[in-house]
Amino acid sequence: MSTLTLAKALNEGMRKAMEDDPKVLIMGEDVGKLGGVFRVTDGLQKDFGEQRVIDTPLAESGIIGTAIGLALRGYRPVCEIQFDGFVFPAADQIITQLAKMPLRSLGKVRLPVVVRIPCGGGIGAVEHHSESPEAYFTHTAGLRVVACSNPADAYTMIQQAIRCDDPVVFFEPKRRYWEKAEVDTSAAPAGWPPFDQAQVVRPGTDLTVLAYGPMVKTCLEAAAAAEEDGRSLEVVDLRSLNPLDVARVTESVRKTGRCIVVHEAPVYNGFGAEVAARVTETCFYNLEAPVLRVGGPSTPYPPSRLEDHYLPDLDRVLEAVDRAFAF
């Protein structure tokens, strides 16, 4: 066991993938000599060279387009989008090329490209640096979309994403980069949780809380606070957003009878709307209350001084819990 930050766990996971497969490449803005703005790729260019850890121009569309070409030639590129708000210039390449090429070729062409995106707020950043764009990509057929929430998952999931023959959009909760936890770096891949499986991170009996990425920790804190009021909350880390682990979500909600979905992104048309609809469809006769959603307001992400008012916190999660129990 090693005690690693989430950022270091990602680094170690990519390092292991590069050691195991010489076709794995890292590419992005400042990922080489600087080691990335969050130092997630720190030391990789020094150890693997400039041919495998590539500092690219400031051109997100070019980064993804180049990665697609490399994947066509048998490489496994891992692209870093420096900040979440910078992904939109690359959206054309991701949505119209990366997601569609396997079907366009009737499965003859595989594009094992990973697009890493530091996501969410909470770091006091300027505009375009605190977005939550996951719903754009979960709506795009042909992409796998995953989100890690802790160092242990970061270490295993980044390797699973790199090994995957499908294109993967990999969301990393940037405000959790510096949080530490125990990581078993010696465990064999066969012992890792499946890539597309949700995990119950806190068992409970009275209400299911579904979350992913940066909100998992907030929901765990809310569950601990609710326990003091005699309420047992089950917290499920979705981990994979597309495909969604409907079976595990359904199992939890049928047991508890109540459900809230939590994410940083705006509630309106957010990913939580899809989750809430699925839960209602599969658990209608088990529900004691409507499925409730907690997220940001329908407004552009605010200046950093106001972000604490924008981001869902423990109190907003507990307020939703109170509403669920009021039915």
Q: Measuring CA to CA, which residue among 145, 220, 133 is closest to residue 181?
A: 220
Concatenated DSSP letters for 233-299?
Answer: EEEEE--EEETT-HHHHHHHHHHHS-EEEEEEEESTT-HHHHHHHHHHHHHGGG-SS--EEEEE-SS
**Pairing mode of beta strands 233-237, 180-183:** unpaired
Mean pLDDT of 294-303: 96
Q: Which of 159, 174, 191 is the last residue of a domain?
A: 191
Q: Which two tokens stand for residue 22?
A: 């010489």
Same-domain pairing of 85 and 234? no
Verify whether residue 129 is a known catalytic residue: yes
Identify which of 164, 267, 286 has the alpha carbon closest to the alpha carbon of residue 215.
Answer: 267
Predicted confidence (pLDDT) per residue in 173-227, tens digit:
999 999 999 999 998 898 899 999 999 999 999 999 999 999 999 999 999 999 9
- Same domain for 27 and 173? yes
Are residues 124 and 222 located together in one domain of the fold? no
Handedness of CA 115, 120, 123, 124 (dihedral sign): positive
Whether 295 shows a pLDDT value over 90: the answer reads yes
Is the domain of 277 the same as that of 144? Answer: no
* DSSP SS3 for 25: strand
CATH of the domain at 224: 3.40.50.920
Summarize pLDDT for 57-69 with one digit per residue, the tens: 999 999 999 999 9
On whether both 181 and 272 belong to a single domain, the answer is no
Q: Are residues 181 and 209 in the same domain?
A: no
Q: How many domains does the chain divide into?
A: 2
pTM of the model: 0.96
| 3-state class (DSSP) for residue 7 | helix
| pLDDT tens sequence across 49-58 | 999 999 999 9
Interval 78-132: pLDDT, tens:
999 999 999 999 999 999 999 999 999 999 999 999 999 999 999 999 999 999 9
Per-residue pLDDT at 169 = 98
Q: Which of 172, 191, 210 is the last residue of a domain?
A: 191
Residues 78 and 143 in one domain: yes
In this predicted structure, the answer to whether residue 300 has a pLDDT above a threshold of 90 is yes
Instruction: Give per-residue pLDDT as tens, 233-277.
Output: 999 999 999 999 999 999 999 999 999 999 999 999 999 999 999
Catalytic, out of 129, 139, 263, 309: 129
- Asked if 147 and 173 count as a contact pair (C-beta separation under 8 A), the reply is yes
**Percentage of residues in the chain having pLDDT higher than 90:** 98
Domain residues for 165? 2-191
- Written as one string, the DSSP assignment of 297-313 is -SSPPPPGGGHHHHS--
Distance CA 308, CA 63 (A): 33
The residues that bridge with 182 in the sheet, in sequence order, are 3
The DSSP 8-state label assigned to residue 101 in this structure reads H
User: Is residue 172 located within the same domain as residue 213?
Assistant: no
pLDDT of residue 1: 83
Residues 209 and 255 placed together within one structural domain of the fold: yes
Residue type, 152: A
Domain identity same for 101 and 168:
yes
* Domain limit, last residue, from 139, 167, 191: 191
Whether 304 and 210 share a structural domain: yes
Average pLDDT, integer, range 155-171: 98
As a whole number, mean pLDDT of residues 155-179 equals 98
Mark whether 86 and 230 lie in a shared domain: no
CATH number at residue 128: 3.40.50.970
Residues 222-251 as b/e (b if ≥16 CB within 10 A, e otherwise) read bbebbeeeebebbbbbbbbbbebbeebbbb
Joined together, the tokens standing for residue 236 give: 């499920």
Residue 21 neighbours by CB distance under 10 Å? 13
